[in-house]
Chains A and B, each alone.
Chain A
Amino acid sequence: MSDLHAQAMEPKSTYNRQTGNLSLRSVLGNKITVESTLQYNVEKGKNRPGNGYADNTTSWATNLLANTVDIRNLAPGYDANFNEVQWQQVPEAQNPYFVINRMGNTDTKNRFIGQASVQYAILDDLSLKVSGMRDIDRFESMDYMPIGTAKRPRGLFNSGTSFVTKTAAQALLNYNKSFFENFQFTAMAGANLERNKAESTANNGSEFIVPDFISFSNLSLQSAGVGLSRFGQNSVFGSADIGYRNLLYFTFTGRQDWFSTLNPGNNSIFYPSFGTSFILSDAVNLPSIISFAKIRASWAQVGGATVNPYQINQLYTFEQGGHIGRPVQNTSAALSNPNLRPLTSTTYEGGIDMQFLDNRLGIDFTYYNRKTTDDILSTSIAASSGYTSALLNVGELSNRGVELLLTGTPVKNDNFAWDVSYNAAYNKSEILKLAPGLSTVGGAGVGRPYNTIRGRTYLTNASGIRVYNKLSGYEVQGPEIEYGQGVPPYTMGLTNNFRYKSFSLNVLLDAKFGNIVQSGLSRYIYRFGLSKNTLPGRDKGLTVTGVDQAGQPFTKTWPVDQLDTYYNNQASLSPLTTSVFDGDFVKVRSLILNYRIPVSKLQSLKIQSADVSFVARNPFILHKHITDFDPESAYTIGNTQGQSSNTIPRTRDIGVNLIVRF
């Protein structure tokens, strides 16, 4: 059982969670084993902070208010008539105190997960296990803007519920046998059935009739909606393992899946795998410096249907209430695809695992080459086609890379030990082929990494001089270029663990290289004149020089009183120039100093062990190029990575833990 109460950084924002767990196991006779686990969670959130664009957030004003202004001047955020007091002209840029004091949101989640299994030992070497599980999740949420909100002066209300269930049943037959003295054989066959159902309701509206009565019934405009989403998957699968004298192993697997989200005829896929490993150090005599050596290789396919229920069907909904007595149908801008096939990813992998000097030094190296064919993506298409996205088996993507793990124990004696572990990975992503009619996916074309961030620049002439629009005095927009990729190709981590008597110190370093981060917030920081890059010209005006569109020399001086307009519009013309950053970083992910209290001296308390530790999460960033925010505040939405926006800043957490075991 656990109970958590958390107070967020933002005032009036809280989060509670209660968890209960129960595990049961009983053995009936010598043949039957029954196991069961039950879990029940209740989560409650209140006034969760928003993020993204300006509205519904407190962080917008916190991030963008001129730093000469004390933000507390904006309190309480509303006037005598409870109207929001705006801090600037754009109503979406809400007064943060108004957000805290007048707006609100709540959510509650009740989740129950139950599993049970029965295992029956048919023979000594043959057993059957049948299991079932059910996950029930009920979620309710509500949020509102009251009367007097500048953005929605008459108020806004949203509420919704969802009821999601997942049911799965599985039968597994296991067979385990040794024969001919040197061979071991295990085999497994099974079937799995999974069903999911999500029901939802939405009760939204706007224009409160009476102030400060936050209820769906108090709305002039109401809309309601229901949703039902169901999907399932059937599978049969099997595997066989053969081992020879603990030296050589072979594994074969095969699996067939049927997906409800695809049409019959296209909805199933069989995928096999084959793997082998060989313990070299046990087979031949190696130099004594090598204590262990293992070579492994595998070829594996995985099939999948990454598609939502109903997504393959073009649907035409009816508009609630119609139009003055006439039914109204609507369309979707997302193009469906009834002929969608499952995707297949095929991976070749090889690796070697070696230990040296009595296991004091270890190396584990892996190379992989994964090719995904028929990858399913909802990809953006030109709106002039009638649709903004198409659901396609987009083509062929490749991911190749290496992974390396080095472990070592430089010092080890009774009082002092030092363990080091270093891991590094490199992944190269490449689009190999695209579906007919597509020239890009995820911003990139054939030969480029998936997830490329593209955008405009300022136009320059052949000699690299900026081109200006003679009429307006602003830079001219240049062509779209590739800025970089949103996913870091290089990742690494380094753990050092020191132990001296009862003390231990664990330091984890994390690093990522080679990606870029596009920050929506930085664009606004620039446009609002909060970036150091907007300092030139503050005293005597800014003179820009270059050429005009006819190639003639161009110069213009922006007077001080027009600088804000200049910087604002300049950033809008080429948003990425001012908001794309090198995402490289090296940071101390965690630092833990632990002291094991000598409980043996307190035997009367019946304490088994006790530890007190100082814990720091994300305490330092050792290296980064981004000055305005943490490189890791980028988010991932669908296929888009490397985007960062207006959020509450990431935190450095420092604490002390005491763990006592009885």
Chain B
Amino acid sequence: MKNSRFQIIYAALIVAISVLSCTKELAELNKNPNAYESVNANFLFTKSQLGAVGLNPNGNRFNNMQMLQQEATYSEVTAPGDKYFAEGYVRNNWSAYTTCLNQVQLVINEARKDPNNINKVAAARIWRVYIVHQLTDLYGDIPYSEALKGLESKYQPKYDLQSDIYKDMFKELEESVASFDVSKPTFGNSDLLYDGNTVKWKKFAYSMMLRLGMRLTKIDPVMAKTWVEKAIAGGPILDDADLAKVPYADGGLLSNRNPFSEHMRVLDYVDGQNPLNVQGSKISQRFIDHLKGNSTTTKDPRLNVISVLWVKQPSGGYVADTATALQKGMKNAQFNGYPADFETYSEPNPNTVMRYDAPVIVLGAAEVHFLLSEASIRGWYSGNAAASYNSGVTSAMKQWSFYGPGGAISTDKITTYLKYNPFFTGGTFEQKLEQISTQRWVLGYLDQIENFANWRRTGYPVLIPTNYPGNITGGRIPRRYIVPESEETLNRENFLAAKARQSGDNTLLSRVWWDKE
């Protein structure tokens, strides 16, 4: 009996000891076999590039493309851009903070651990400028110097003045360009823009510097001139071969498709087979009429690349037709409900604009040439304004060849267009600025964040605001996006301080620092 009692106590001890020793095995349980526990700077840089150019397709179209009167819709709720009815999608670009912007910051932090990585750090810093400039241009003062520090337990970053953010972006570009070293490793093919080519990254950085410098013409012409001149001296993108773009592919993976094509075709235009169009969109009258010009000679050849009419066939079904005479745009804010003549309006071309394998063009020679032309008319560049303008138009038309065979525009057509639409060499400064800015408006059709910024800066082309009854801006085209309410709740003091110093508003009609009235 005694013996068995000892046995029992012994057994209980064994159980207790085995429970305690199991605690080592417990730690092993908490390793996720399906996730990686550290940052790979290369692989995350790719993600940051994809995320930045694919951000908020809804806002891109239903706000900017419609506000800038390149698309129209008969729908009400989803169309804050067309009729200024609602505030939808104007908060969504803020998600850059938790996606591409945070990712590029993690890439920089990781790459900096090895001094050999200077090229990676430089490219990532330039890319961070690209993401930040879009954010600040949309939202004004934003968290910057204290942002993205969640990992350091900093949850309430202060908002920096947009003027300070611009100063820092110029500094970042300048320092990054100076630090490139061809002998050191790069991101290689993880870099979707340039496969790690540091020479091209330098050109991209100077093109960004040129864009950002010119942005300040209304608020600080002296500072604008300084950076425009520095950028030109440094050497921005002048050849189409140096154009920065992110490639996409058609196929079985959603993430490989061009995000805007995917958005338009899956959620709206559906290959013209559904005449209703889910979101009620069509190309706008303002855009089609501009491309058509006054006559066949002044017509912009991009019309037949961008626009199609789905023509109903006697045998049933629809066929896309690019013929000039058929193209007709729908007027912005003309309809609030399905119009009977809906099928008679043009739509974006599924074989060019909406190809799943179309690239997203980030920045190219066309914009640089237009910026040089503007620098010339401002006296900040010694080159010829007309020559730069012509180069800009040529590059802008040529770059449509990236959108498949249907996008190719022959040199003949470009020459003819320039012949009948020459640069107003003898015109006033305003006429020249209008002409250059209108070209940038057409160029910006698929780069709507830049399009919105440049239109706010120059005021060209002149767009007649819609004034649909009940709109929320009193018939004014919005001038800013709205910082999400979560900032007011979760980062209250900093948000309110920034709001107070920016005219006390956080609405579609607030203005960012450089957008001086």
Contact = CB atoms under 8 A, between A and B. Distances in A.
B150 A386 contact: yes
A331 B192 CA distance: 18
B8 A128 contact: yes
B446 interface: no
Contacts, number: 278
B162 to A, nearest CB: 15
A171 B256 contact: no
A483 interface: no
A387 interface: yes
Contacts of B8: 122, 126, 128, 173
B16 A268 contact: no
A561 B24 CA distance: 71
Interface string B266-306: 10001000101011100000000000000000000000000
Contacts of A469: 474
Contacts of B252: 220-222
Contacts of A330: 44, 47
B32 A90 contact: no
A385 B35 contact: no
Nearest to A563: B470
A329 B156 contact: no
A265 to B, nearest CB: 10
A321 B254 CA distance: 10
Contacts of A439: 156, 490, 492
A150 B44 contact: no
Interface residues of B, number: 99
B492 A317 contact: no
A505 B32 CA distance: 56
Interface string B439-475: 0000000000000000000000000000001111111
B181 interface: no
A565 B471 CA distance: 8
B458 to A, nearest CB: 24
A456 B489 CA distance: 10
B486 interface: yes
A99 to B, nearest CB: 17
Interface string B35-49: 111111011101100
**Interface residue range, chain A:** 35 or more
B76 A437 contact: no
A221 B253 contact: yes
B47 A382 contact: no
Given A319-B47, A562-B470, A390 B155 contact: yes
A565 B95 contact: no
B147 interface: yes
Given A316-B39, A326-B190, A386 B97 contact: yes
A157 interface: no
Contact of B75 (A89, A153, A236, A438): A89
A526 B507 CA distance: 23
A565 B491 contact: no
Contacts of B42: 327
B157 A331 contact: no
A390 B476 CA distance: 40
Interface in A459-509: 469-474, 480
Interface of A: 83, 86, 89-91, 122-123, 126, 128, 150-154, 171, 173, 189, 191-193, 195, 206-207, 220-223, 226-236, 258-264, 267-268, 309-310, 312-331, 333, 335, 380-388, 390, 436-440, 443, 454, 456, 469-474, 480, 558-559, 561-562, 565-566, 569, 572
Counting from the closest, the 9 A-B pairs by CB-CB distance are A471-B474, A565-B470, A382-B491, A329-B43, A384-B143, A315-B35, A385-B150, A386-B102, A260-B26
17 contacts: A83-B274, A90-B78, A228-B32, A259-B26, A260-B26, A260-B29, A310-B31, A310-B35, A315-B35, A326-B43, A330-B47, A380-B490, A384-B487, A385-B148, A387-B102, A390-B150, A471-B474
Given A231-B30, A260-B26, 7 more contacts: A173-B8, A220-B252, A221-B252, A321-B255, A384-B97, A385-B155, A480-B485
